[in-house]
Amino acid sequence: MLDLRQIREQPETVQAALQQRGAYDLAPLLSLDQQQRQLETRRSQLQARSNEIGKRVGQAIKAGSGASDPAIVALKTEGNDIKAELQTLEPEERDIKTQIEAFLLTLPNLPSDSTPVGASADDNIEVRRWGEAYRPQSAVKPHWEIGEILGILDFKRAAEKIAQSRFVVLMGAGAALERALISFMLDRHTRAGYQEILPPYLINSAALTASGQLPKFAEESFQCRHDDLWLTPTAEVPLTNLHRDDILNADQLPLRYCAYTPCFRREAGSYGKDTRGLIRLHQFNKVEMYHFTHPDQSFIALENLVQDAEDILQQLQLPYRVLALCTGDLGFSSSKTYDLEVWMPSSDSYREISSCSNCLDFQARRANIRFKASGQKGTQYLHTLNGSGLAIGRTMAAILENYQQANGAVRVPEVLQPYLGREYL
């Protein structure tokens, strides 16, 4: 959530920053804010006058005036008029505050000064590449064909017998490979200093709102309507809410967590894109990394977060590139984002496998997560960061395509062989 005081004091600056992200008009919000402040001023004046009247009536009665004294009657009448006006003002003020809150929840984060300016993904900037892109002389099978030939991916049974399209059943070595990837990633991150978390997979509306998923992405999520619970779209949501409404000590920071969860997304609006394979499923597994950090350290933390995601790809020997997302391609809660894209030989292209973002105080403000420095009276909002470390299904797809052999087998990356107990699928 954006800071209302910043919007009030720097409306042109905030409006210009929002325009880099799309069509957002602050005028209605500024009008509501002005109305609310006027009502607040009027209410304060009335309350002060009411207190003054009560004091004067008490003094008059103490001095011997009777209840029927014209001066006391006049004061009481005025007091009753004030109470009546306050009874009208207070709900009106609450209603405007509710409208302001609802408006603020629709506004995305402001891009950082170091975020490239651009209108769409075409304007993202490549930062670096790692590894040599595998371009075989003969045609390369896509990962879903490899998986079906090996008998480790079954999309037909998932769609026709169990769920619907964009689900998959992992069979035999496919299920084992998925489990191996999850364990490998968690082991790698915990050795790097992350604390492993296993959160609930069902989350409430308040948690989704605090992390920035609601109201913006309601149509993207699966809801259990009778219980005010939703299937988690990403472990970022429960990890954000681990410290909702907490005041941490500055010396506790940074806090770094990692979590495996299945993730559930409707993928509304993506029909016709990646309809085959593991790239865009309604249910997929992911390992998430999350930082709660001091505001002075968050951009350093972002670079470290990206390196932790890159480490997984490097250990798996999967070629990739890093992109700095432009303002028009940023996620709703992010101020600066790097995407990692892994090489997919069958499409002769790089595909997103991780997104690492610095949200500054945007999520912390929504979730009311603050910290207090030693010796200081006040508190301030901390900064939050999140990143995929990695999306498991897309990692499996990249392994199947980059490690396929001429005889049809798929070599298991060396770091995964101890988990699987085999060299080939």
327 near 339, Cβ under 8 Å?
no
- The span from the CA of 213 to the CA of 209, in Å, is 6
Q: What φ, ψ does residue 157 adopt, rounded to 5°?
A: -65, -40
User: How does 148-169 read in b/e, with b if 16+ C-beta sit within 10 Å?
Assistant: eebebbbbeebeeeeeeebebb
| Sequence-ordered list of residues with C-beta below 8 angstroms from that of 17, at least 6 positions apart, any chain | 110, 111
According to the model, what pLDDT value does residue 269 have? 58
The tokens describing 213, both together, are 């998923």
Task: Check residue 408 and report its DSSP letter.
Answer: S
Given phi > 0 = left and psi -120 to 50 = alpha, else beta, which region is 363? Answer: alpha
* pLDDT tens sequence for the chain (425 residues): 999 999 999 999 999 999 999 889 999 999 999 999 999 999 999 989 989 988 888 888 887 777 778 888 888 888 898 999 999 998 999 999 999 999 999 999 999 999 999 999 999 999 999 999 877 666 789 999 999 999 999 999 999 999 999 999 999 999 999 999 999 999 999 999 999 999 999 999 999 999 999 999 999 999 998 999 999 999 999 999 999 999 999 999 999 999 999 999 998 655 566 778 999 999 999 999 999 999 999 999 999 999 999 999 999 999 999 999 999 999 999 999 999 999 999 999 999 999 999 999 999 999 999 999 888 889 999 999 999 999 999 999 999 999 999 899 999 999 999 999 999 99
CA angle 361, 207, 296 (to 5 degrees): 15
pLDDT at 272: 60
Rounded distance, CA 235 to CA 355, Å? 13
Cis peptide bond upstream of 28, omega within 30? no
Residues that are catalytic: 265, 280, 352, 355, 394
- Left if phi > 0, otherwise alpha if psi is -120 to 50, otherwise beta: which for 32? alpha
- pLDDT value, residue 372: 95
Placement of tokens 């959160």 in the chain? 199
Tell me the sheet residues that pair with 102. Answer: none
Domains of the chain from N-terminus onward: 25-105 (1.10.287.40), 121-420 (3.30.930.10)
pLDDT for the residue 129: 97
For residue range 259-284, list pLDDT tens digits in order.
999 999 998 655 566 778 999 999 99
- Spell out the residues 6+ positions from residue 76 whose beta carbon is closer than 8 angstroms to its own: 53, 57
Q: What is the DSSP letter of 410?
A: B
Helix (H/G/I), strand (E/B), else coil: 94: helix
Q: Which residues of 386-397 are buried (b: 16+ CB within 10 A; e: fewer)?
A: bbbbbbbbbbbb
The pTM of this model reads: 0.92
For the chain, state the CA radius of gyration: 28
Residue type, 187: D
* Dihedral angle computed from the Cα positions of residues 95, 99, 102 and 108, in that order, rounded to the nearest 10 degrees: -150
Q: Residue 193: left if φ>0, alpha if ψ -120 to 50, beta else—which one?
A: left
Per-residue pLDDT at 300:
98
What are the angstrom distances between the C-alpha of 271 and each of 223, 267, 281, 282, 392? 20, 8, 11, 12, 22
Sheet holding 202-204, edge to edge: 202-204, 229-231, 223-224
Sign of torsion, CA 298 302 304 309?
A: positive
The pLDDT of residue 270: 58
